[in-house]
Amino acid sequence: MKKKKKDITIRNGRVVDPGNGIDEVTDLHLSAGKILALGQTPENFQPLLEIDATDQIVCPGLIDLTVNLREPGNEHKATIASETACAARNGITTLCCTPDTLPVIDTPAVVGQIRHKARKAGYCRLLPQGALTKNLDGTHLSEMAALKAAGCIAVTNCYTPLANTLVQRRAMEYASTFNLLTIIRPEDQYLCNNGCAHEGKVADRLGLPGIPEAAETVAVARDLALAETTGAVIHFHALSSASAARTMAWAKREGRKVSADVAIHQLHLTELDLEGFDSNRHVRPPLRTDSDRDGLRKAVAENVIQAICSDHQPHEADAKSSPLPDTEPGISGLDTLLPLTLKLVEQEVMDLSSAIARLTCGPADILGLPLGRLTPGYAADICIYDPNRQWHVSAEQIHSAGKNTPFTGWEMPGRVTHTLLKGRLVFREETL
């Protein structure tokens, strides 16, 4: 028999719900796993639990559009249990995981295995992305209808290139048939040419093979044209250049069915951070110039880029212990997603409501799901954090199995104290 969910009241918090235009100190009432009401206590409502959120921010649970959980196939790096627990500690209630697992997420059986493990862990809502092509081979289209029926919310080929643009067109057409979002990591494989850093003066000085900005902008232009032809709804993941952001602004003005996200580290780091050859700063797409970072920040502030994601890629120590070009790219990002976004508020890049929107209703709208808002009747996914708590990034403070972060030593704002998933406490800070 299912255990009845507690009725809960969260009192005296500053409720910030950008999707509903709310920013005020008030109470929030939860019943049967859903949002019941804001403000005055409903008649005859008697909560079994009250949470005092005085001087804290109460917002919708965060939605991370792109994470690599490493399971199945790379459990020596991380597991579904370890990373969903980490997400809960950091206020994230929904994770969208990439299909580049072993085996690849290209059959309902693999989707079922992953969802079962996530439900068993119980920390997070896990929404798998399905493979665009079978085994990510770039040639043979996957059974998208079956993947959607099994629970996939989108299809993507991650960083594995498609054989040619005709396959890309057919894949978009096929995904569109099933009303599936196509997620694209815009990158021209030939222009990348096995590079590992932004092509420019810094890469030249350090002797690192470069990836030109054009590798991204050419791909964005190509895929926008194909989307126009096919009628597909596409989403660009992890933009890294100001030029691509400007193209997105144009596409949105034209009314194209397109959206985009950016990895949070691209809003703080640049190519100059590679000076020390720190392999934890080896990412794909590469860290680019100051002007690219500023262009991305502007696009996020203006809602041209509607979502900020962690692009979480946990690694074991050995994966980052070789010379930089030989290391595996990627940052362990779940622990720093919210604090680095709050840092953008401190730096006056955007206001708090806009920052929280890029982590809640923004990604929810991209997915077309009734999440990311504190609307009565919606699932009670909630993040409560103390905005006045400062902390320093260290291996001990990183709760992901992957400790590969370039932010070690940085002072971060904001500490999550409670996370609720469907009205159930999945994290409560031990010191409380």
Distance CA 368, CA 364 (A): 6
Distance CA 406, CA 266 (A): 12
Return the amino acid letter for 256.
R
Estimate to the nearest angstrom the gap between the alpha carbon of 316 and the chain centroid: 21
Mutual angle of helices 242-253 and 290-301, in 10-degree steps = 30
Distance CA 359, CA 293 (A): 19
Report the chain's C-alpha Rg in angstroms.
21
Write phi, then psi, for 198 (nearest 5 degrees): -65, 130
Q: Are 56 and 417 in contact (CB under 8 A)?
A: yes
As a residue count, the chain comes to 432
Span between the terminal Cα atoms of the chain, in Å: 31
Distance CA 321, CA 326 (A): 9
Q: Coil, helix or strand for 374?
A: coil
Look-up of token digits 């001990």: 396
Estimate to the nearest angstrom the gap between the alpha carbon of 215 and the chain centroid: 22
Which residues sit opposite 382 in a β-bridge?
60, 420
Q: Coil, helix or strand for 250?
A: helix
Look-up of token digits 């862990």: 121
Q: Tokens in use for 373?
A: 């808002």
Q: Tokens in use for 246?
A: 């400007």
Q: Tokens in use for 168?
A: 């890309």
- Which of 64, 188, 311, 381 is an active site residue? 311
CB atoms closer than 10 angstroms to residue 348:
8
Q: Are 349 and 358 in contact (CB under 8 A)?
A: no
Distance CA 319, CA 209 (A): 19
Clarify whether 278 is annotated catalytic.
Answer: no
Distance CA 144, CA 295 (A): 35
The sign of the torsion formed by the CA atoms of 65, 66, 72, 78 equals negative
Kindly list the catalytic residues. Answer: 311
